Amino acid sequence: MQGSYALLESLLNEGVDTIFGYPGGAIIPVFDAMYDYYDKLRYILTRHEQGATHAAQGYARVSGKVGVCIVTSGPAATNAVTGISDAMLDSTPLVVITGQVSAALLGTDAFQEIDVVSITQPITKWSYQIRKADEIAWAVARAFYIAQSGRPGPVVLDIAKNAQLENVDFIPQKCTFIRSYIPTCKLDDTVAKQAAKLINEAKKPFALVGQGVTLGNAEDELLAFIEKANIPAAWTLLGESAMPTDHPLNKGMLGMHGNIGPNLKTNECDVLIAIGMRFDDRVTGNLNEYAKQAKVIHFDIDPAEINKNVQTEVAVLGDVKTTLPAVTQYLEKNSHTEWIASFKEHEQKEYDFVIQKETESTEGAIKMGEVVLKVSKATNHSAILVSDVGQNQMMAHRYFRFTQKRSNVTSGGLGTMGFGIPAAIGAKIGAPNRTVCLFCGDGGFQMTIQELGTIMQEKIGVKMIILNNHFLGMVRQWQELFHQERYSSTPMENPDFITIAKAYNINGKEVSERHELDMAIKEMLADDKPYLLVVNVEKNNMVYPMIPAGAAVTNILLGE
């Protein structure tokens, strides 16, 4: 068969059912072959290659599968770089296939030729150029193994046009081992006992839950771990739906806009247990003042994360699906009653100073937090939350509630504005029977607004909520707090979003008054069709609490 057919057969061999992307000259043979695979593969034509990568990310995050996208060469490949970078920082398994000029033209500055491998090597787990058809089956099998094993991440296959056209005797391949690649390691039982001993002796243990729990499908193992020793836990932005919001040991969000209690208790605990998280600067603040009193136990699959930012007493290396139970078996049952109760005063303070004002206002403009909470309640807290980046993101993750795992899709490490719409598309395709609620700011929504065309063509029933404050809100907040209210290039004059949505056959409503909000949310959720709800919120709405960049986690601003 032709190499293009061998490529699609290789994808089917890996269990692929959905592909996102955009065609072009250097990848036409693959799209020509795809014409014969419409009964086996669903191809989603996005409106931009960046949108294809983010959609593949959303699909991967909720389905647990590898996200796949296929684009052409040159500008298409460079357009995909943002999504590839995003996937690398957030450990999302992607296989991105780019077209390339024929091998005979490589290095001649041919039309739409770009050195994709050199560009993407620093932002992938593996980047490889296929120059002959007989490499295809081998390369695809290797790509999927690398993308989804160990700490997941993106892989790029750059396939020359001649390789797509050449004939090859196709033999399906499966990769389960690469000599130079060790995706995880076997836990030494001595280490498990050391970790358990520290926890058993602790008076104030505290667990920090990251996305590694979700990536390892270890949500049940996490609960068994914290419940046996009665350990309070908090989550990073990407670790949010790893445990139910209403679990009594769930104490909230860590980091810059996290909850007061978790941040303060980080610097009070005697044993800090990091589980599948990387001590990002948005979580730690000033490292010189971070958890210096605590002995640190770090569960992680990636040895490179150990001692990278925070010095570790015990490193528990391996997949948390196996390492958590390995330690749990040695844990002693405990209560830590006083320690857990000490969170309550901080919870009450945050409610009094921040949460009540943000979610229970009866006067003035609509608040972002109250919109998020109302939507969450209207879905019985069972929806998938997708968020863009900015104030909308922080408000969404502070006030949305979770009862199911794999319900949280956002751009964490790269903080990519424009992530929201395409990621919501991928999330809905990855979990078609679940409600997907996307929260965007007016700025981020316009960065990938063309993907409304994808929603229209594929009839994807995402629920999109724009928290419209006519500002680049997060930048405005920093300008107000740290730059003498010099609002340089942050006020936004916006289009009529509802009219734009109608042009894409998407129903919608704009709300400016509080009494209209409940009915509008009910209407939005009434059926499975796509819907846009634009809520005009308070222009100077601030996200509190806030830890200033570079400050200690105990330096918390609560506003007026």
Active-site positions?
Answer: 49, 111-112, 161, 474
The helix (H) or strand (E) run that includes residue 19 is strand 18-21
Strand order in the sheet with 271-275: 250-253, 233-235, 205-209, 271-275, 295-300, 314-317
Per DSSP, what are the bridge partners of residue 316? Answer: 299
> Which backbone phi and psi does 120 adopt, to 5 degrees?
-95, -10
Alpha-carbon separation of residue 108 from 113, 115, 118, 128, 162 (angstroms): 8, 11, 16, 19, 16
d(CA 87, CA 484): 36
Residue written as token pair 């196996």: 322
Tell me the three state secondary structure of residue 437.
strand
Closest CA to 428 of 403, 458, 401: 458
Return the ∠ at Cα 30 (arms to 114 and 99), rounded to 5°: 5
- Say which amino acid occupies 433: N
d(CA 528, CA 522): 12
- Whether residue 241 contacts residue 407, with contact meaning beta carbons closer than 8 Å, is answered with yes
- Whether residue 437 contacts residue 388, with contact meaning beta carbons closer than 8 Å, is answered with no
